[in-house]
Chain A
Amino acid sequence: MTAVAAAPAVPRPSSGSTLTGTGRLVRFMLRRDRVRLSVWTLSVVAFYAYFAVALDAMGTAARGARAAVMQTPAGIVMGGPGYGVENYTVGVAIANEGITWVVLALGIMSVLHVVRHTRAEEESSRSELVRAAPVGRHAPAVAAIVTLFVVNAVIAVVSALALSGASGGDLPLADSFGLTTGSGLSAMVFGAVAVVACQIIEHGRGATGIGLAAYGLALVLRSAGDIQERHGSFLSWLSPIGWAQQMRAFVDLRWWPAALSVVAILLLLVLAAFLASRRDFGGGLVATRGGRADAPANLRSPLALAWRQQRSAFGWTALGMALLWYASGTLLPEIMEMGASGAADNEIFAAVFGGSDPAVFRDGFLTVMLLFAALTCVAYAIVMSGRAKGEEEAGRAEVVLALSVSRSRWLGAHLVVVGLSTVVLIAVSVYAVWAGAVQVGMSEPGFGAYTDVFWTYSVAVLVYLGLSAALYAWAPRFASAAWLLLVYSFVVGMFGEVFDLPSGAEALSPLDWLPAGFGEVPEAAHMIGLAGVAVVLLALAFLGFRRRDLQSN
């Protein structure tokens, strides 16, 4: 006391803790992300509602067949532990199959949200500005968690209401809440893992990777556990995804597994707080490794650089697609049985998949499945062709173009890498389905039919790439308009026959010029026409990019 009294009076703020300013940051984050978070919310809610309506439209017989599929190993990996498969109602199906995917979506959202508002802010030194203001040390992280909780809570409530509403009240509200709350809490566990990762790793990308890897691990544990034993073994209980599924929504609801998620979240946050007070601002607990001092000999052209920048994204995408479509291929025989019976008593189902004759249905189903695969590849092409824009905006294109590299060579390098990677992805997807089907003894349709699908889609995808590139070259602000064509193609490809669209409208979709059904012979004129359109668009891209100002800030 005396020492304090003797010391000169230093003005000391009376209030101020490590959490000062959290409330303001919460409002700021919600404001900053209002569009992003609204889109996430609407997407997840729409998924729930669509899933409920679609499952209801299938009819009881088809759902029964579906339950059989969900008891195969691949079905368990993509679905759940199999509660209620004996009486596969809409609610049971949503709980059994939906949770894995909803938790994936919400988990990605949670990890990205946390990293975006904590580590990425620190990296960009934006949070230096914030932290220099009267804002406590833990305030940004706590605000990120609070906002994450708010968003997940909103999504859980609205989804539950949507589920119950979409089913016309058939789905009990309590179970709906159990399902959506359990999924939200499970996803928040991965958000909490990301909070911890942000304390350990210096870079947002690394922290995101750890968060997503945690999901991957959880999926593997749950799948292994559920395959070992129906309704899950010990391994399933190690996985946050399992905790949501073990609530048995719509079968025999129990709430206590949700407590496991809550406890895990709290423990992780305590760990993060402990780590956070032991590290410097901007620093991590693990130092980043050094790289090579000299470039490898092959890094000597814009092409090599573009590949270097895209190869890891390509590699992971290819691996993911190979696994996903291989697994889908192994499901084909069961799906055929289920679908044929489903199509027999459901018009929409029959319209989408072509009919109820098993062989016709099989080909129709393959067509739709490969349409999905191809559209995923188209999405990849559009995302990756956006990399060129990113390079330009960051000012890195400028550095290269100031050397003796022509505009065409630079753009060409990006497009060649994107184009070839996409074609390879299509090959991987299409032949993975084939390999999966062959694995379970389904040798019809043969390799040749798949090859037709592969090469015709490869031509079609170049049209999307060309459009994306041409937009980028002529009107970079509208480059993302290429997504519109993708969405349009999806709607036309999936529901064109249901909606009975005029043929002129369908012709706008590049995919409409491909063979309508699996195993049909492609028309040479159509394919040449598509290739011609792709060439014209790509030529336009090069022409436009050579003429315009480079944008940089």
Chain B
Amino acid sequence: MTATPAIEIHDLYKSFGTVQALDGLNLTVRPGEVAGFLGPNGAGKSTAIRVLLGLLRADSGTARLFGGEAWRDAVALHRRLAYVPGDVSLWPNLTGGEAIDFLGRLRGTVDKKRKAELLERFDLDPTKKARTYSKGNRQKVALVAAFAMDADLLILDEPTSGLDPLMEAVFTEYVRDAAAQGTSVLLSSHILHEVEKVCDTVTIIRNGVSVESGTLDELRHLTRSNVTAVVAGDPAGVGRLAGVHNLAAAPADGGTRITFDVDNARVGAAMSELTALGLQSLTAAPPSLEELFMRHYGDVLPGSDASGAASDGTGPTDGAAQAARGTAGAR
């Protein structure tokens, strides 16, 4: 904890005209950490990243990389990082291979062996002119250039939005490799399972402010588990327990099959009640990140603050939460 964070954003504000893109954002990525940065379109992810890269100037607040100021020390800081934008635009008359070399040389030298390996793994033809590449292939060019750089920090802005699942797997592998060598990673994404696979911590951002932040475990702690059980007795009492939501019951072999969500802090009480009802089978699943995510963007909590949105699921928002869950479950 004493080491300087790779990324440190504190109370960051940035507006474009009347639009408040960042509204007091906080974000910390410790050295060697893979941090997920989740949020819907327009939440401010790319704006935050552009401030970090010194491309935009913050209105107030601090944005630091390796302890240096993102705007003032941009050039020096950029020696240590590699960046992949969400929508990669390349020079139309350069081939992919030339673009990779050019970007690499602006930072230092290009390791030809590493480049060849990456090109093969990502299945990219470097001899085609950039104007003929599809979105996915342009993204591959930027990824190959970034992974070939051997940086201390990777900033990846929705880097897999154009990749097929096979390439996503290759991408995941390289992110893990980088993390294993101590590289810090900031991965902004819509793709929840990708974040779940590789990230140590997650920050959820909405309307320019982080509404949730922590390790995956910490976030799960704040959320409900989904329980399916078969009990012999009448399950109506379960529904009256504090912290139990969305109870549904259906007849099953030898009793009643019930499903419900329970706040993790209340699991003990629920289990006692189930045991008393003659518990015959039980499955309990931790919430997927998908559910976490849907809760934040499925719920419409007016004036909610970060902790409220995460831990307080009772009240008028339950219906929305359930609808969100339904969508998530259908995937």
Q: Is the interface of A mostly helix, strand, loop or mixed?
A: loop
B76–A402 CB distance below 8 A: no
Residues of B near A292 (CB, < 8 A) are 95, 97-98, 127
B85–A404 CB distance below 8 A: no
B105–A402 CB distance below 8 A: no
Taking the complex as formed, is A280 at the interface, i.e. its CB lies under 8 A from any CB of chain B? Answer: no
B95–A293 CB distance below 8 A: yes
Q: How many residues of A contact B (CB 8 A)?
A: 35
B128–A550 CB distance below 8 A: no
Taking the complex as formed, is A405 at the interface, i.e. its CB lies under 8 A from any CB of chain B? Answer: yes
A295–B101 CB distance below 8 A: yes
A394–B89 CB distance below 8 A: yes
A518-553 CB mask vs B (1 if < 8 Å, else 0) is 000000000000000000000000000001111010
A441-463 CB mask vs B (1 if < 8 Å, else 0) is 00000000000000000000000
The verdict on A550 contacting B55 (CB below 8 Å), with A305-B102, A394-B89, A400-B106 known, is yes
Residue of A nearest to B107 (CB): A403
Q: Which B residues, 262 to 308, have Cβ-Cβ distances below 8 Å to chain A?
A: none
With both chains docked as a complex, state the minimum distance between the C-beta of B141 and any C-beta of chain A, in angstroms. 10
Q: Is the interface of B mostly helix, strand, loop or mixed?
A: mixed
Taking the complex as formed, is A31 at the interface, i.e. its CB lies under 8 A from any CB of chain B? Answer: no
Taking the complex as formed, is B50 at the interface, i.e. its CB lies under 8 A from any CB of chain A? Answer: yes
Residue of B nearest to A311 (CB): B93
Q: A295 vs B56: C-alpha distance in the bound complex, in angstroms?
A: 30
B89–A309 CB distance below 8 A: no
Q: Which B residues, 81 to 127, have Cβ-Cβ distances below 8 Å to chain A?
A: 81, 83, 85, 87-91, 93-95, 97-103, 105-107, 112, 125-127
Taking the complex as formed, is A475 at the interface, i.e. its CB lies under 8 A from any CB of chain B? Answer: no
Which size bracket describes the interface of B in this complex? 35 or more
Residue of A nearest to B149 (CB): A403
Residues of B near A296 (CB, < 8 A) are 98
Q: Which of B55, B76, B89, B97 contacts A396 (CB 8 A)?
A: B89
B90–A396 CB distance below 8 A: yes
A269-308 CB mask vs B (1 if < 8 Å, else 0) is 0000000000000000000101111111001111001001
A403–B128 CB distance below 8 A: no
Q: A402 vs B89: C-alpha distance in the bound complex, in angstroms?
A: 14
B93–A406 CB distance below 8 A: no
Q: A24 vs B59: C-alpha distance in the bound complex, in angstroms?
A: 47
With both chains docked as a complex, state the minimum distance between the C-beta of B50 and any C-beta of chain A, in angstroms. 7
With both chains docked as a complex, state the minimum distance between the C-beta of B325 and any C-beta of chain A, in angstroms. 34
Residues of B near A550 (CB, < 8 A) are 50, 55-56
B129–A294 CB distance below 8 A: no
With both chains docked as a complex, state the minimum distance between the C-beta of A475 and any C-beta of chain B, in angstroms. 15
Chain A interface residues toward B at CB < 8 A:
123, 202-203, 288, 290-296, 299-302, 305, 308-309, 394-396, 398-406, 547-550, 552
Chain B interface residues toward A at CB < 8 A:
50, 53-57, 74-76, 78-79, 81, 83, 85, 87-91, 93-95, 97-103, 105-107, 112, 125-129, 131-132, 142, 155
